Amino acid sequence: MATEPITTELAGSCVGPNGGAIGMPQLCADWFPNQVFWLIIALVAIYFILTRIGLPRVGGVLAERQGTITNHIAAAEELKIRAQEAEKAYDKALADARAEAGRIVAAAKADIQKDLDAAMAKADEEIAAKSAESEAAIDEIRKGAMAAIEEVAKDTAGALVTALGGSGDQAAIDGAVEARLKG
């Protein structure tokens, strides 16, 4: 107890008259209660500092950090999946666009073909009309020519008959010429 005075003899058994240690101070039993008392106070103080403030705080910070890291990894994972989805969507859009472009090209080709066909048909028609017209004109010319030949032949035949001293029966001559031409 604090009130209990420690005799000089006891104190003297650990410290010499000149203030130096006698033997090992570690083995001085007079000091044990003091050391044990303050040790227990110190340990209890440290225990309360740790359990009330220190450890929960550090544990909380560590858990929070772990949580943050986990969250960030999860977020990164999600972003990666989204990036993959976006890539897939892009690929799909590209393929669609290609197909659409192909379709448009085919449609345009078909359109052009139709126009071309129509134009060809029209041109053919025009050509046919023109050639029919030409043929008619040729026919006419040919007919005209034939008639002229016939007339010339009849006239020539008449003239020949007259020149040869025959009596010109123009009708008989014409009939003979016609028969000859038809033959």
Partner 1 sequence: MATETATATEHGAEAAAHGAEAAHGGLNIHPMDQFIVKPLFGDGPVGMFTVTNVTLWMAVAVACVALLMVIGTRGRNIVPSRAQSIAELAYGFIYKMVEDVTGKEGVKYFPYIMTLFLFIVISNFIGLIPMAFTTTSHIAVTAVLALAVFLSVTVLGFIKNGPGFLGLFWVSSAPLVLRPILAIIELISYFVRPVSHSIRLAGNLMAGHAVIKVFAGFAGALGLFSILPIAAITAVYALELLVAFIQAYVFTILTCVYLKDALHPHH
State the residues that interact with partner 1 by CB under 8 A: 1-2, 4-8, 10-11, 14-15, 18-21, 23-28, 30-43, 45-47, 49-51, 53-55, 57-62, 64-65, 68
Alpha helices in 50-182 (DSSP H): 55-163, 170-182
Cβ 13 to partner 1 shortest distance, Å: 12
And the tokens for 99? Answer: 């197909």
Cβ 58 to partner 1 shortest distance, Å: 5
Cβ 80 to partner 1 shortest distance, Å: 23
CB closer to partner 1, 19 vs 183? 19
For 150, half-sphere exposure in the C-beta direction (CA atoms, 13 angstrom radius) is 14
Distance set, CA 108 to CA 69, 89, 93, 111 (Å)? 57, 28, 22, 5
CB closer to partner 1, 35 vs 131? 35
CB closer to partner 1, 31 vs 157? 31
Cβ 77 to partner 1 shortest distance, Å: 20
| Torsion over CA: 104, 110, 116, 119 (sign) | negative
Cβ 73 to partner 1 shortest distance, Å: 15
CB closer to partner 1, 27 vs 171? 27
CB closer to partner 1, 31 vs 176? 31
Token pair 């040869």: residue = 164
Cβ pair 157, 177 in contact under 8 A:
yes
DSSP state of 25: G
Nearest to 180 by CA among 157, 161, 160: 157
